[in-house]
Structure 1
């Protein structure tokens, strides 16, 4: 089980490295989309908490 997790982790790391090297513009775009999603989620939680107080 532990060996399988190591193999999957290494495959994932190699895939991410290959993607960054092969297409850095697309990788940057995906990271930006991810951060925008996290930002939107945090903003929504903040709005929800504000509504609970009011």
Structure 2
């Protein structure tokens, strides 16, 4: 059976990155990518995925 995924995006605050990532990790989210925020060149956006229904 093929795994079905759900996705989530969240802004990352530079001064609190570890805590933010740890919190999402505890909820079963896996970090996929971090990119510059399109509306704020100093900000970051994190993309996460986890198996659907987790």
**Greater share of strand:** 2
- Which protein, 1 or 2, shows the higher relative CO under an 8 Å CA cutoff with sep ≥ 6? 2
Q: TM-score, normalised by structure 1?
A: 0.28
**Greater share of helix:** 1
Higher CA-based Rg: 1
